[in-house]
């Protein structure tokens, strides 16, 4: 498994060095991958493989929006949709800081995370 992963890391480094556009994909929902956390783990794996943190973040935001033809999202700019995470720590210092989520906004509106958590744990 370590040898196979080393091959994947080397391939990612080759793509990054060659200027290939990389898009985050964590295969969420398959087998033991859980929505949300798998993406954070994948970001961390990309950085550990040698991809700069800023480029890994763009692979999860700007690049997929561009490839999918969604000009209203992917970056923080006036007039765009404003789907974003507010973090308690800088992910450029440590990519694992993407897990330190202080707030979530969808279309510029705050998500009530406490209400969601309560609904999920109550089974509703």
Rounded mean pLDDT for each run of 10 residues along the chain, 124 residues in total: 88 93 77 76 92 96 96 94 95 97 96 91 74
Whole-number pLDDT of residue 102: 97
Nearest one of 31, 35, 59 to 45, comparing CA atoms: 59
Query: Angle at the Cα of 52 (from 48 to 54), degrees rounded to 5?
Result: 125
Q: Which DSSP helix (H) or strand (E) runs through 46?
A: helix 37-48
Whole-number pLDDT of residue 43: 93
Whole-number pLDDT of residue 124: 57
Whole-number pLDDT of residue 27: 67
The tokens for 86 are: 């507010």
User: Cβ atoms within 10 A of the Cβ of 123, count?
Assistant: 5
Q: What is the DSSP string of 87-103?
A: ESS-TTT-GGGGG-EEE
Domain count, the chain: 1
Whole-number pLDDT of residue 30: 62
- For residue 14, the Cα-to-chain-centroid distance in whole angstroms is 21
Whole-number pLDDT of residue 51: 94
d(CA 120, CA 7): 39
User: How far apart, in Å, are the Cα atoms of 55 and each of 24, 63, 113?
Assistant: 10, 9, 28
Name the residue range of residue 93's domain.
2-122
């Amino acid at each position: 498994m370590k040898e196979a992963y080393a091959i994947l890391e080397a391939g990612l480094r080759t793509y990054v060095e060659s200027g290939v556009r990389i898009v985050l994909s964590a295969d969420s929902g398959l087998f033991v991958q859980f929505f949300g956390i798998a993406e954070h783990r994948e970001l961390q794996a990309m950085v550990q493989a040698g991809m700069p943190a800023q480029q890994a973040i763009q692979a999860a935001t700007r690049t997929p929006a561009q490839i999918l033809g969604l000009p209203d999202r992917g970056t923080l700019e006036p007039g765009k949709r404003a789907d974003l995470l507010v973090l308690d720590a800088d992910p450029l210092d440590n990519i694992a800081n993407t897990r330190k989520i202080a707030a979530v906004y969808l279309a510029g509106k705050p998500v009530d995370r406490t209400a969601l958590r309560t609904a999920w744990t109550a089974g509703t």
